[in-house]
Amino acid sequence: MSYDNAWRQTYSMGLIDFGTGSNIAKTIEVPGGRSGRVVDIILGTVAEDFAGSTTDAGVQVGDGSDADKYYDTGLVLDETTDVADLAILHLADDGAKVDIELGRSTVTVTFVANAGTPTGQAEIFVVIDWD
């Protein structure tokens, strides 16, 4: 795949509540069956402190059966991420860096919930370069 003239799209996943105790999954429609590459996961405005967790939260992008096939931030959102920081965090890929294959109709974004009695809400954006 050639990404010399990639068509970069940013997908807003909205405000995600990582403190629900259950993983949340959303889908992104693949434009015209293109191939692509997830280049960034951005955590925007933190609306509720990330606190009270025994296991941190993370974001994965996959094909519906393999949750982290295309991107895996690992478990990176912990109690040090809070409203007062006003930070924008770029969550790096901790996975295999596999490209989205040609012909897919959707990809699935999974928001891995904290364990224990957690809190934590933030806006999440997924950035994909399409070939």
Q: Kindly report, residue by residue over 36-66, the tens digit of the pLDDT.
A: 999 999 988 888 887 766 567 889 999 999 9
What average pLDDT does the chain have?
A: 86
Determine which helix (DSSP H) or strand (DSSP E) holds 25, and give its type and residue range.
strand 24-29
User: Is 90 exceeded by the pLDDT of residue 85?
Assistant: no
For residues 12 and 74, the model is more confident at 12
What is the helix (H) or strand (E) element at residue 128, kind and residue range?
Answer: strand 116-130
* Rounded average pLDDT over 28-38: 94
- Listed in sequence order, the residues at least 6 apart from 32 whose beta carbon sits closer than 8 Å to its beta carbon are none
Q: With contact defined as beta carbons under 8 Å apart, do 105 and 29 qualify? A: yes
Q: Are 3 and 131 in contact (CB under 8 A)?
A: yes
pLDDT classification of 82: cutoffs 50, 70, 90: low
Q: For the domain made up of 7-130, give the CATH fold.
A: Jelly Rolls (2.60.120)
Please report the pLDDT score of residue 122 as a whole number.
Answer: 87
